[in-house]
Amino acid sequence: MKRREFMVSGAALVAGTLVARSAAAAPGPVEEKGSALMPPANQRIKTLTIKNIVIGEGQPKLIVPTTAKNSADALAAVKNYAGNPAIQLVELRLDTLADEPDNAALAALTRQAYALLPAQALLVTFRTRAEGGNRALSDEAYAALCEDIITHGKADLLDIEMFRGEARVKALVEKAHRAGIAVVMSSHDFHQTPPNEEIINRLRHQQALGADVLKLAAMPQDSGDVLRLMSATWEVYSRYAERPLLTMAMSGTGVVSRLAGELTGSALTFGMVGQASAPGQIEAEDLNAVLKIIHQANQG
């Protein structure tokens, strides 16, 4: 066995072991299928289909973000990701652009990026500093940017931060839906992993606000935090979710949460090509190999 294959197989084994421990502690029924530990069937969960990419069933879909500091490099990255069979979604990160284009220029950039991705989904994100991003925006300026992207830009999915005022967030979700854009609603905690009840409540509130994908990322202090996040994801998936989930524990400690979404109910995961956009991301090629191993094991 080659060194890389050995490493990937080992990572998959660790993922399966840790998820089994997490699931054993989590509420809800467990279904055995062969030797693989599987999530319960939740008939409430709706899949999200974009460009023949079905989010919410089978192997978690892989998102790779851009990290470029100018628009030309961002488009070059999107072009590089286009057509890569390992990558189902490309995230265009607008907050990393150091030249700080105005809203009109950013909307135009989303249209250019969208045109490069005929078969992959484009997720557009402006991550504010309050949520771990590179630039600070007031709630009003953030909403205005999202509205300009919705109205004048082009995207399959738009990331909307949940803590931007409930009325403001609801209005943005409604505008995005009228424009045919799905919403990934997000919450990030770069300092800690919230208690399980808080994790569950945030994800359920995102659903109540109309999100199409429910997203939460947190920073673990130890392995126990990672398992708690995975357990809380399982609980939301098995008891409450009507939308696909996207959860992750950040940093190297949390890497297993990026591998094992198919077992906990997390339908998407982030990888990287080159520079990471968040702590703990794995190279897309390696991540995709582990996702395939776990998926194939679940079919046995």
Q: Where are the domains of the chain?
A: 3-298
For residues 234-246, give the mean pLDDT. 96
Length of the chain measured in residues: 300
Is 9 part of any known ligand binding site? no
Is 91 part of any known ligand binding site? yes
Percent of the chain, pLDDT > 90? 76
Position 240 pLDDT exceeds 80: yes
Q: Cα angle vertex 170, ends 165, 174, to 5°?
A: 150
d(CA 22, CA 83): 35
Active site residue 188: yes
Residue 136 CB burial class (10 angstroms; 0-12, 13-18, ≥19):
exposed
Average pLDDT, the chain: 87
Confidence label for 117 from pLDDT (cuts 50, 70 and 90): very high
Q: What is the pTM of this model?
A: 0.86
Angstrom distances, CA of residue 15 to CA of 12, 18, 54, 267: 5, 5, 23, 16
Is 239 part of any known ligand binding site? no
Is 243 part of any known ligand binding site? no
Per residue in 196-230, pLDDT (tens digit) is 999 999 999 999 999 999 999 999 999 999 999 99
Is 281 part of any known ligand binding site? yes
For residues 285-292, give the mean pLDDT. 90
Is 135 part of any known ligand binding site? no
Neighbours of 138 (CB within 10 A): 10
Confidence label for 187 from pLDDT (cuts 50, 70 and 90): very high
Residue 36: left if φ>0, alpha if ψ -120 to 50, beta else—which one?
beta
| CATH superfamily of the domain spanning 3-298 | Aldolase class I (3.20.20.70)
Catalytic residue among 69, 79, 177, 188: 188
Catalytic residue among 61, 215, 292, 295: 215
